[in-house]
Chains A and B, each alone.
Chain A
Amino acid sequence: MPEQITQEIFEHLVALAALELNPDEAEYLRGELNHQLAAIQELSAIPLDADIPASLHGVPFPVEVRQGLRQDEWQPYPEPQTILKQAPETSDGYIVVPDIPHTTLE
């Protein structure tokens, strides 16, 4: 069957995914994507009556088994340093990142 994910579509997906790929990776991944799409073509042939709804999850989740919303209360985290310590670069309690792409308004 024809390849659905052309080089052009693939490059668009890679950009959306915030990835960059070397040529070997790109070839393997585009090939596998097309194989996977071929494998799911069956979905389009399944007869679906118009009244069949989408299920976002399988088990019904009626209000009786939900915990309900808790109060929206501010609670200080006891050790913020343990969280900040995980960041690759910090300064004075702030997380440091490179320049954010932006346009200077006139």
Chain B
Amino acid sequence: MELCDLSAYEIAQHVRSQKATAVQVLESCLERIQKVDGRPGALDAGELTAEDRLRVHAFITLTEERARAQAEEVDRKVAAGEDPGLLAGVPVSIKDIFCVQGTPSTAASRILANFVSPYTATSVARMEEQGALVLGKVNLDEFTYGSSNESSAFQPCPRNPWNLNHVVGGSSGGSAASVAAGEVALSLGTDTAGSIRQPAAFCGVVGLKPTYGRVSRYGLIAFGSSLDCPGPMARDVTDAAMMLQTIAGPDPKDATSATVPVPDYIEALEEGVQGLRIGLSPDYFRIAIPDARTGKYHTEPVPAEFEQAVLRAAQVLAEMGAEIIEDVPMPNARYGIPAYFVISRVEAASNLHRFDGVKYGYRTQRTPADLRDLYRKTRAEGFGLQPKLRILMGMYVSAAQYSEQYYQRALRVRTLIRRDFDQAFDPDGAVYVDALLTPTTPTPAFPLEAVYGDSVMMQYADQLTVPANHAGIPGVSLPGGLTAEGLPIGIQLLGPDFREDTLLRIGRAYEVATQDDPWRQEEPQSAHL
């Protein structure tokens, strides 16, 4: 096993005990990137070559010099007997939706391709303070608008390490791929409808969406300001806990970050599940399949392999002392996507108005007639199709004459979705559970080009994850097996506000109990490049 394949926990141990230096860890990761990543995402990248199809393409920008300086500083601290930090020598990637001072911060969009951030996002700064090595910025759907990474303006887009002809999911797809392929141990993603959990499920890694307000959004290029949550992606639960420990907590630079105390996530990991009540909901074992032409949709059971993976997890947890509560009603979960289509578009349209070719970013090279024409030409050339679609939809559903029918109504439906969770997690309620256990996604990673372009079908990839965003509650996706085709299956845990510790504890118990399962011994395709 190479250094880059060790967990973040093991790497930090190695570096602290001088079994390896942070510089050696960095070299190992750079070698892995060199071997599997292929050419980085770029504008106007031309046709895909045969070699491109056999590479992961997680990165847009490598920040080798920054990482090297950080590694040398960690090694200096260790040698001097100083505390090198919780993430000493741990290699990380950053979804390119976060500002990192002195690096291109592109949002995977042409309109920000030349933007070099003058400041650093709080969550990135906190990881750097704890000794992390920032290896670079990874790809995503343009402005996070998608569930496959195919909409990135920076091509080639990432390819799934488990099967290079399949999508990585999205929008934190480069994050998931870079962790799954062993290029880094941790990645910072964001989750607005499932953008951490869905690609984590597709790529066989752990992805945690914290409670809204648990992690600062300062330095995150905004999409849906009432929904966006930065969070960790990792190869195991312990690593996700270490990363959350580092980034969680209030930030004077984000007024929506909450002052709720941050518990010791790592200490709680080994407490087991004895006495915990874990719920299963029939409403999370059904999926909606839309027919965009007619506006109708039908429901089907989730794929049998997914149901079996969740039930197996429930059985394992029951054997460890958890109580499994069946038939937890979540009747409003099915409205998650329709409500999201409205709320997220209104917030996106509002947030995207700042990109105008005046203060930073791309400006049209054509000669505009006046300032308004400058805006139009710049935005026409700078935005891809998905941002344009979201802006237009947001404009429509919030327009004065339609707002009552759409936006105001969607906000009230959001209340219903939240109430389902309030009732399930109410200690005095009819069915009290500490967490819900569900599949993360309605399908495994789909083939590249199979869904892209159909914006309705793509959105439905988030149907099992989006209710948590409406409600603001935390959720984690864990690797839960492989399909017959060898694609990862994700299982999801959802919990009450600020109880990430419970989710991590359950996840860790499940991980320990299934450590010897045959699927855990399998390696992704990228391990054999």
Report which A residues bind B (CB closer than 8 A).
1, 5, 9-10, 13-14, 16-21, 25, 28-29, 32-33, 35-44, 46, 48, 52-61, 64-67, 70, 79, 82-83, 86-89, 95, 97-101
Q: B residues 451-509 with Cβ under 8 Å of A?
A: 454-456, 459, 469-473, 497
- The CA of A89 and the CA of B357, in the complex, are separated in Å by 10
- Chain B residue nearest to A64 in the complex (CB): B259
B406-417 contact mask (Cβ, 8 Å, vs A): 1 or 0: 101111111111
Which residues from B are CB-within-8-Å of A25?
A: 385, 388
Q: B residues 320-378 with Cβ under 8 Å of A?
A: 335, 337-339, 341-342, 349, 353, 356-363, 368-377
The reply to whether A21 and B388 form a contact with Cβ atoms under 8 Å apart is yes
The reply to whether A40 and B370 form a contact with Cβ atoms under 8 Å apart is no
Min Cβ gap B390→A in Å is: 10
- Chain B residue nearest to A35 in the complex (CB): B292
The reply to whether B293 and A35 form a contact with Cβ atoms under 8 Å apart is yes
B427 on interface, CB distance cutoff 8 Å: no
The reply to whether A20 and B471 form a contact with Cβ atoms under 8 Å apart is no
Assuming the contacts A13-B392, A33-B389, A86-B359, asked whether A54 and B408 have C-beta atoms less than 8 A apart, the reply is yes
Which residues from A are CB-within-8-Å of B415?
A: 52-55
The reply to whether A43 and B342 form a contact with Cβ atoms under 8 Å apart is yes
The reply to whether A89 and B370 form a contact with Cβ atoms under 8 Å apart is no
B192-207 contact mask (Cβ, 8 Å, vs A): 1 or 0: 0000000000000000
- Chain A residue nearest to B292 in the complex (CB): A35
The reply to whether B295 and A5 form a contact with Cβ atoms under 8 Å apart is no
- Chain B residue nearest to A77 in the complex (CB): B118
- The CA of A86 and the CA of B391, in the complex, are separated in Å by 24
Per CB-CB distance, the 5 closest pairs between chain A and chain B, nearest first, are A58-B472, A38-B295, A59-B472, A54-B411, A86-B360
Which residues from A are CB-within-8-Å of B116?
A: 86
Which residues from A are CB-within-8-Å of B471?
A: 58-59
- The CA of A18 and the CA of B376, in the complex, are separated in Å by 5
The reply to whether A43 and B380 form a contact with Cβ atoms under 8 Å apart is no
The reply to whether B396 and A18 form a contact with Cβ atoms under 8 Å apart is no
Min Cβ gap A86→B in Å is: 4
> Which of B86-94, B178-186, B249-257 is found at the contact surface with chain A?
B249-257
Which residues from A are CB-within-8-Å of B373?
A: 98
Among candidates A46, A56, A59, A98, residue contacting B411 with C-beta atoms closer than 8 Å: A56
Among candidates A1, A19, A48, A79, residue contacting B388 with C-beta atoms closer than 8 Å: A19
Which residues from B are CB-within-8-Å of A17?
A: 349, 379, 388, 391-392, 395
Chain A contact residues, majority secondary structure? loop
The reply to whether B363 and A89 form a contact with Cβ atoms under 8 Å apart is yes
- Chain A residue nearest to B418 in the complex (CB): A58
The reply to whether B388 and A54 form a contact with Cβ atoms under 8 Å apart is no
Among candidates A52, A60, A101, residue contacting B416 with C-beta atoms closer than 8 Å: A52
B115 on interface, CB distance cutoff 8 Å: yes
Min Cβ gap A17→B in Å is: 5
Which residues from B are CB-within-8-Å of A99?
A: 370-371
B43 on interface, CB distance cutoff 8 Å: no
Among candidates B256, B293, B359, residue contacting A95 with C-beta atoms closer than 8 Å: B359
The reply to whether A88 and B358 form a contact with Cβ atoms under 8 Å apart is yes
B212 on interface, CB distance cutoff 8 Å: yes
The reply to whether A43 and B470 form a contact with Cβ atoms under 8 Å apart is no
Min Cβ gap B254→A in Å is: 9
